[in-house]
Each structure stands twice: as structure tokens, then as C-alpha cells.
Amino acid sequence: MGKNLVIVESPAKAKTIEKFLGKDFTVMSSYGHVRDLPKEDISIDLENNFEPKYKVLPDKEKIISELKKASKNAEFIWLATDEDREGEAIAWHLAETLNIDKKKLKRIVFHEITKNAILQAIENPRELNYKLVDAQQARRVLDRIVGYELSPVLWKKVKPSLSAGRVQSVAVRLIVEREEDIKNFDSVSDFKVTAEFSNTKNEILPAELNVRFEGERQALIYLESVKDSSFSVDSVEKKPATRKPAPPFTTSTLQQEAARKLGFSVSQTMTIAQQLYEAGQITYMRTDSVNLSDLALGAAKKEIESQFGKEYSKTRKYTTKSKGAQEAHEAIRPAYLNKKNIEGTATQKKLYDLIWKRTIASQMEEAKMEKTQVQIVTPNVKEFFIARGEVIQFDGFLKVYEESSDDEGGEGKGKILPQVKKGDNLKSEGISAIQKFSLHPPRYSEAALVKKLEELGIGRPSTYAPIISTIQKRNYIVKESRLPETRKIVHLILKKSDIKRSLNNENYGSEKNKLFPTDLGSVVTHFLKEFFNDIINYDFTANVEKEFDEIADGKVEWHKTIGKFYKDFHPQVTETLQNTGKYHGERLLGVDPESKKNIYAKLGPYGAMVQIGESSDEVKPRFASLLKGQSIETIVLEEALSLFKFPKKIGELDGEEVIVSIGKYGPYVRHAGKFYSIPAEIDPCAVELNEACEIIQLKKEKDQNNILRTFEEDTEIQLMKGRYGPYIKYKGKNYPLGKKNDPEKVTLEEVRDIVKAKDESKPSGKTGSKPSRKTVGKTGSKTIKKKSSPKKK
């Protein structure tokens, strides 16, 4: 044991640093926060100056006892946690928990994991910054109060087990409001006119008219007016332009680019980045900084000069503009810039390649272009055509990498125009006026949501991925794809003095992996907006961040800030609990023509439903659940009425009744005592006998196909094809076959052994139970039970 103990947050970081320091230093890791407010209750003394009651996190007991042992033997303890609010707090919690003697404690910080930076840090130790620690305590206490006072309001007024918080509730709100914008969006159409012209060498010049026409009539009038016209070049304008590379990756921009270029989900990107980090291939992946170390700048320069030449290199220092950035780390970059490729899985290679290119490009010269704009006119007609082109004169960083963008566009980007000059006559090869519908605002993808949250200063690099999974787990939002719909659009084509009109099909509205609000998400958001608007305001976080900064600057005392907040907030909680009834997001759809009673759509205890009659009536109202794809916000009376028609007899098959109905697991067909789910894309209201028979037949075939093998000796055992490879199905339970066993060759005996082995290892039959071998001190008597709700996909 060395006489110096250094503590950092991440074990991978510890490993690297240990190499830089001599044998007198032992480097250990805290694995993040070690102490926190226990989750069982609010753990803040609300009457007594908001004193937090911290406790060592249950899964950190072991690491704390190891750190304690090591710190006893050390002469000095160097707390080298990150230089930001959370890092300072971790250092303080460590000092407190390990009971470190003040004379032995040294606080050091570094922003880059380079030998120089670390040795320099060791030369310049400082004290703990208690003001910064207090800013973190304020942040922690505020989040706890908001989360643990708001959630119970939802339990009582909306539904049990719901959650609300400073971050998650705003994330859900963004998605709910975007969906409302889309619902309220009126698509209008106009006519875009494009043409292809040819010069004397028969080279094609594509162009667009300078205006769009409001309707078909105006478009037609225009086409008529140029039916027999001649076209000529009125002007050729050339302008130089440049394009600059994007800054190096932060967590948020990496997530966005990996989604656009590689199709990775936000959590997938983080998992792969973590693997690269642990393998020492990239720097830390949870960062809000675009800064590169001098070492990296030098390495990039050398790499660029040797690969592309001196003229391609340009050293650039980027500064962060994102709100609330704390910049404790470097940007995400390759650990060694001269390593263009790495060993690893396909996805690791792809992500590394992206990071390498982005980093290198950020240190390259800008691209130089010449943009050309040609105006093409017709005698006696005021509208004119514009052809745009772009010629790259020096590719610069484009040689390596270009950032993608979510929206299409880039007029004439990279398009080269044929040579023409003023006065040249051009021949029209065809002019078309095509109806264009305006597009509703786009739905958020995971990465787009992260981008928006970052803009609002909400959430941190370490939480972007968890936020997205939390609000999905809570069933506030869902990630879904939707098939396109088709509509007819008008095409008017003028060719050789002849105008042809046609109606063409256009696909629109297809969505891939976008975020949609659920009814629950909408209702909860509306509730919070009505009663706690200031908490889920988009600038709430930005405002409290300013106050945290004041605490960190020593201008205010943290208890005061929290006291001021609580004085306003808590009465809203008690007020809402006392004076409001249940909130179900009820919406009146109309009147039932049969009973003349009102029909409502609302959130019931089992999800969204429609209801005929009032809840207060003596006669119980009738209820029916909404189908997938329907929502409280958008369902109309007619659709509601058809939901009350189930269960519905639709005919007979083989002498037995065929019935369509809606159950716990969605719509189904029932026949001869068996149930067959109706796929989501089929509307159960429209299912008739023919289609029902098809559904039955299809299900039977599919079941047949998933069976890999059966055994004559024991028909209860089946080998099945599953998502995670072949598995054994036996008496309603599943057992993975294991990679070693070939489903074609395995014997019945071996299969029985696998079943027996698994049943014996887990006699309860419950899967995924935690191996909590460590007894948890005092709380040992209070058994913490995990909810046993198997998650459905």
C-alpha cells in the first residue's frame, strides 16, 4: 500500500491515472456518489432548515469499507473527483463518510487525463469548496422535494405509482405539446414549379421558379403563359462560400449523430461508448465540453498533416455555448488520434470511426466553395427560374466528415451546373407544377429530445439516456413507428406546348422510432400544467440554476434559497390535495343516440376508456377500453359508439361460433374455446368472418413454424425458436437451450437435465432475483421487496 491514496469516480480512470503516478500512489474509485438521501422517504427535515439526512447507498457499503481501510493506512488522501458541482459533493461526502483527518485531505482536480495535467494537479492541491458543495445540496434537496411531494399528489388525484419531477415532467410535456401542435396543424398546399433546361451542348440545368402558386388554377395560368415561350439566361452570379467543421463531440451531439448516421438509440450509443472508454480507446463519454487537450490538438495536427497535407490542418479551440455546461471533462475524442481503426465489434468500430472523424475534422481547414446562381427568364412573364449550383474548390474538412442534419434541404448543395453565360438561349425539356403539402412540426426522436433538453439546460450528460427510458417505463411516452398514408396530389406537366394533368399518389406521415405521448402522459401533463405550472415551466430549471450559481459564488446561503422555494411550493401541494377532485382528463364526445346520455373519453384505472352516462348516476355507466392507436384527445363519437358493440358474433366456422371482442390484451377472435389476437394494424370493428378465419389460420401456421423439434417419447417437451436463440418449452415454462447445444442433435436426456438443473438452481421459479448476499446493516430487518411485475414488451 502506497502512502498516498487517490480517489476518483470511475474505475477506468483510476486504472489510467495509476500508470502516471509512481508506486507511492494507490488509486481507487468511488463508483460515483457514495452517499445520498435514502429513497424510502423524503429524508429532509422540513421543519428544521431542510437538513438532509444522508445515508451510505446500500450498494456502496462494500466500497466504503474498502476505502476506509485504505485511507487509514495512507499518509495523504487525494480526492480527485470531477471539478463540477456533483464532483465536489462526492469529494465532500467521501471526506465525511471516511472521516478523513483534515490534515491528511487534499483536493485536486484535472480536466484531462494526461500525465502533465495530473502531475500539475498534484502540485496544486486545494481545500474542499464548501460553497460548491452547498450548491449541489440545494440541487439535491430541491429535486427531492419536488419529486417526493408532487408524485404523491398524482397518486391521489390521477393514479397510484405515478411519478413527477423537475426533469422528467418537462420531457414528457415537450412530447405532449408537440403532439398537440401536430393535431392542430392545418396542412395547406401550394404548387411548386420546377423545370429542366438544356444548353446547346445538351447539358441539363435544373431550376425552380422564384414563386409558388397558391392553387392549381394559378399554376395552370402560369404554364399556359409560357407554353410557347423561349427561355434565356438573364444573369449568372458567382459567390464564394465557406463551410466550417462542427465542434468535437459532447454526449448530446454524439447521441444525435450516432442516431442520424448509424441509427443507434441513445442508450445503445452510451453502452458502446462505455465499452470504448473502458477499453481505453476514447476519453470520457459523459461530458458537456467541446474542449480538446493541448496533447490532442498536437496529435490531431500531426495526423492531419501526414495524412492529408499541411494545407488541411487548422488548429481550432472551441468554446461551449450550451446552457449550464460544467465542463469537468474533455470533449469525447479518441484516446490516440493516430489510431484510425480499432479492434472490436462492428458497432464499436462504427462508433469509434465516427468519433475519430468528427475529432479530426474539427481540426481541419474550412471548405471553400463557389456558389452559382443562374436566373432564367421568359419574355413578357414576370416570374423567373433560378438554378443553383455549388462547386467545391477546396474540400478541407469535408474530406473526412460532415455533420448530418435532421431536416432535409441544402438547396443545390454539391450540385454542379453546366457552363452558361448571360444571353444564352435555353431549351425547355419540361416544366412541372406539383402540389406540395406543408409539413406538420416533426415528432421528437430520442436524440432530438436530448438536443431540446440540452438547449433548455434540463438534465445532464449522465442522465439523458436514463430520462428517456424512465418516461417510457412510466408509460408516459412510447417509441413507435407508423406506416405512411397515401394521398392524391396534382401534377401538371408542360412538355412540347402540351399541358397534361394527372393525379399521383404521394406517401406521407410515415414515422420511424419517434416519441408519442400516451393518454397517461397527456393527462398527467395537463394536470401538472393546471396546478403546478411554474414547476414544469420550460425555464424553471434555467432559473433555479441561476440561484445555484449564486450559492456557489457565496452570494446566498442554500437553506435560504430552498426556504423561499418551499414557501411557495408547499402550499400549492396542500391546496391541490384539499380542493381538487380526481382528475381523469375527461372529454365530452357527444350524446349516445340510443340512451340520449353523454359519452365521455377519459382515463380509467385500466387505461383510456369511453363511458356512456355520468359516474354520479344511479345506473352504472357503461365502459369500453380504447384500442391501440386511439387516444382520449382524438377519438370521435362514432369511434366510441363502435367500441360498445363488442363482443360481436360474426359467423360460424366448422359449426362453432366466431366471436370478436376486446380483452385485457387487446382485440381477439374467439373460436372453439381458443383465442387469437388481432394484429394491431387490423381494425377489429371491421373484422368479418373471412378475415377472422385468416387470423385463425395464420396463428396456427406461426405456432407450427416456431417449433424446432418435438420428442415422440415426451410430447410435453418442445424445442422452440425464440428471440434469444432456441429454448425448451416444458409445462408452461421456458429454459434457454444454451449455445453449446445444437437443437438438431441434442437428446431428450440432455434436455431433461437442462430443465432439472434450472429448476434446482432457482426453486422459486422466479427469474432475475438479485444475489443480495450482503446483509445491509441496520436496515436488515426491513426486507426491501422488489415488485415482481414482469415487464411486457
**Residues carrying an active site annotation:** 284
- Minimum Å distance from CB 648 to DNA? 12
Q: Please choose, out of 99-107, 217-225, 410-418, 621-629, the segment that lies near DNA by the rule CB under 7 A.
A: 621-629
Residue 625, interface with DNA (CB under 7 A)?
yes
Q: Say which residues have a Cβ less than 8 Å from residue 302's Cβ, sequence separation at least 6.
A: 337, 338
Q: Please answer whether residues 94 and 79 qualify as being in contact, where contact means their C-beta atoms are separated by less than 8 angstroms.
A: yes
- Note every long-range contact of 686-695, with CB atoms under 8 Å and residues 24 or more positions apart, other chains counting: 687/650, 687/660, 688/650, 688/651, 689/650, 689/651, 689/653, 689/658, 692/650, 692/651, 692/653, 692/658, 692/660, 693/653, 693/658, 695/669
Rounded alpha-carbon distances, angstroms, from residue 328 to 62, 82, 89, 239, 551: 27, 6, 13, 42, 19
Task: Please state the φ and ψ torsions of residue 227, each to the nearest 5 degrees.
Answer: -50, -50
**Residues in contact with DNA, shown as a per-residue x/- string from 772 to 791 under the rule CB under 7 A:** ---------------x--x-
Residues in 368-387 at the binding interface with DNA, rule: CB under 7 A: none
Q: Which is nearer to DNA, 236 or 279 (by Cβ)? A: 279
Q: Is the peptide bond before 442 cis (omega within 30 degrees of 0)?
A: no
> Which x/- pattern, by CB under 7 A, does the window 406-425 give for DNA?
--------------------
Judged by CB under 7 A, the chain residues 440 through 469 that form the site for DNA are 458-463, 466-467
CB of 176 to DNA, least distance (A): 15
For 710, residues 6+ apart whose C-beta sits below 8 A from its C-beta are 717, 718, 719
| Residue span 136-175 as binding mask against DNA, x where in contact by CB under 7 A, dash where not | ---xx--xx-xxx--xx--x----xxxxxxxxxx------
Judge whether 227 and 497 are in contact, CB under 8 Å. Answer: yes
Collapse the DSSP code of 182 into the 3-class scheme (helix H, G, I; strand E, B; otherwise coil) and give the result.
helix
Nearer to DNA, 239 or 731 (CB): 731
Q: Does 4 contact DNA by CB under 7 A? A: no
DSSP strand pairing (385-394 vs 666-671): unpaired
List the interface residues with DNA, window 653-672 (CB under 7 A).
661-666, 668
Name which position in 222, 312, 548, 727 contacts DNA (CB under 7 A). 727
CB of 84 to DNA, least distance (A): 6
**Sign of the CA dihedral running 702, 708, 712, 718:** negative
Among 16, 18, 20, 33, binds DNA (CB under 7 A): 33
Shortest Å, Cβ 197 to DNA: 56
CA distance 725 to 722: 5
Residue 31 engages DNA in binding (rule: CB under 7 A): yes
CB of 457 to DNA, least distance (A): 9
Number of residues that bind DNA (CB under 7 A): 93
Q: Answer yes or no: are the C-beta atoms of 331 and 283 closer than 8 Å.
A: yes
Q: How far apart are CA 591 and CA 586, in angstroms?
A: 15
Report how far residue 283's alpha carbon sits from residue 290's, in angstroms, rounded to the nearest whole number: 12
CB of 209 to DNA, least distance (A): 49
Q: How far apart are the first and last CA of the chain?
A: 49
9 binds DNA (CB under 7 A): yes
User: Rounded to whole angstroms, how far apart are CA atoms 683 and 463?
Assistant: 39
Q: Which of 71, 265, 470, 525 binds DNA (CB under 7 A)?
A: 470
Query: Contacts with DNA in 707-726 (CB under 7 A)?
Result: 720, 722-725
Within 734-773, which residues bind DNA (CB under 7 A)?
734-736, 767-771
Instruction: Give, as ranges, the residues between 299 and 328 that touch DNA (CB under 7 A).
Output: 326
**Interface residue with DNA, options 1, 3, 24, 39 (CB under 7 A):** 39
The interface with DNA within residues 347-366 (CB under 7 A) comprises none
722 CB contacts (<8 Å, ≥6 apart)?
Answer: 706, 734
Indicate which single residue of 208, 278, 402, 592 sits in contact with DNA (rule: CB under 7 A): 278
Determine if 548 is a binding residue for DNA (CB under 7 A): no
Binding mask 580-619 for DNA (x = CB under 7 A): --x---------------------xxxx-x-----x----
Look at residue 192 and give its three-state secondary structure: strand
37 forms part of the interface with DNA (CB under 7 A): yes
